[in-house]
Amino acid sequence: MASGERPLIGIVEEVGGLVDLGAYEAHEGYAGARQALTGMTPAEVIALVKDANLRGRGGAGFPTGLKWSFVPQGEASDGGLKYLVCNGDEMEPGTFKDRYLLEYNPHLLVEGMIIGAYAIGAAQGYVFLRGEYHEPYRQLQKAIDDAKARGYLGQNILGSGFDFDLRIHRSAGRYICGEETALLNALEGKRAQPRTKPPFPPASGAWGRPTIVNNVETFCNVPSILRNGVEWYQDLGLGDDAGTKLYGVSGRVNKPGLWELPIGTPIREIIDVHAGGMQDGYKLRGLLPGGASTDFLVEQHFDLAMDYGTIQAAGSRMGTGTMILMDDSICPVDMCRNLEHFFAQESCGFCTPCREGLPWVEQLLTDIEEGRGQPGDLELLDRNAQFIGGVTNTFCLHAPGAIEPLASALKHFREDFEEHIRTGECPYRR
């Protein structure tokens, strides 16, 4: 595949590592921003991104252009600021795609944000970055400084009369910061508890001002859409979705890693061709397609295309597109215990079903795993999965996301759970 068909990271391989400003400019860098700021109206930019059918790469898959169109156009009536925020909090377990973009191609994010800011009329932008991402911070800060020195950020960008400043907020931890309204509270220096919605951020976001929050990979898709157009972008995808996607595989494969592929590449191709197949002696039993908060897929699903609609129709979510493989040496009950430990720990504690329910589920799974399971425990888990997973029972989607892997494991691997309870031990520990 030519690097032109991999607009996100093809250039990284071509350059052989970090793409600095010089290398980025030599590969049509900032041409998309130039085109938007000097040749198009903000409304035209939004229409283009909408027509391209770019969907949010953070996990939810919401159409990006549509989201941008929710922000009131033009100058705010009270003359106040609008904000553009990048969600670079990548904390979904099993996800390692945004780190790669930030470390190796940071100007792509900066350019995508300049275009997004112009489209919605934001004068101030923030990148909300995980506290543990030290090297991505260094590379992104350097990219911002270099872009500023070259006139891509700051006052009167490229002579267009448009002003945009970009700053990094380094987070102090907690998974819940990835929820966009919790992220905004953290940006404001508060506890990262999700806000009640509505109002949604495009109406009232950071400091009560109209705000758009998009994922790192989402912004990184924008510059090439500006440069090459809607038709080119849609032709990159294999099915209903447009563009390319960063897919990743972790677990017992021969070549775990990350690849930019046409969106809609089949699961089996990603595992067998790109990840080199399973290691000798290990058999693939199931996988979480896009992070810890997605439902397990099993053998019958492995030929499916990794796109939003197909994976949703199979009862899961493409999520972040970075899959975690469960091989036959891993106990499904213990893996669920690990997952629910994470979600219980990372609950912000505001809503009762999440704060009380998730530790309770973790304890029940621990009991079953350690041979203290009782008849009726699985029915209890089923019932509580319904309560905790009900999307209208909590402020945000942390608890429903936490339940997705568990509810699907109870369906696909039920005999493993039953055997633990029947025999009073974990068959994987024998």
Positions touching other proteins (CB under 8 A) are 90-96, 98-99, 130-135, 167, 169-175, 186-192, 207, 248-252, 256-258, 288, 292, 322, 324-327, 330, 335, 338-339, 341-342, 345-346, 348
Strands 83-88 and 124-129: parallel
Shortest CB 87 distance to other proteins, Å:
14
| Shortest separation between residue 86's beta carbon and other proteins, angstroms | 15
Residue nearer to other proteins on the CB measure, 54 or 292: 292
Nearest residue (CB) to other proteins, 242 versus 271: 271
154 vs 256, beta carbon nearer other proteins:
256
Cα 102 to Cα 9: distance, rounded to the nearest angstrom: 11
CB of 266 to other proteins, least distance (A): 20
Alpha-carbon gap, residue 252 to 274, rounded angstroms: 13
**Residue 322 Cβ, how far from other proteins at the closest point, in Å?**
7
Residue placing its CB nearer to other proteins in the complex, 52 or 410: 410
> Do 288 and 311 touch, CB atoms closer than 8 A?
no
**3-state DSSP assignment of residue 151:** coil
Query: Cβ of residue 385: shortest distance to other proteins, in angstroms?
Result: 18
- Residue 316 CA to residue 308 CA, distance in Å, equals 9
Question: Any bridge partners for residue 276, and if so which?
Answer: none
CB of 11 to other proteins, least distance (A): 20
| Nearer to other proteins (CB atom), residue 302 or residue 342 | 342
The sign of the CA dihedral 184, 190, 194, 199 is negative
Quote the CA–CA distance of 347 and 345 in Å, as a whole number.
6
Q: Is the C-alpha dihedral spanning 168, 172, 177, 183 positive or negative? A: negative
Q: Which residue's CB is nearer to other proteins, number 29 or number 400?
A: 400
Instruction: Please name the amino acid found at residue 117.
Output: A
CB of 201 to other proteins, least distance (A): 16
The Cα–Cα gap between 132 and 122 comes to 28
Nearest to other proteins of 101, 388 (CB atom): 101
User: Which distant-in-sequence residues (6+ apart) come within 8 Å of 203 by Cβ?
Assistant: 70, 72, 210
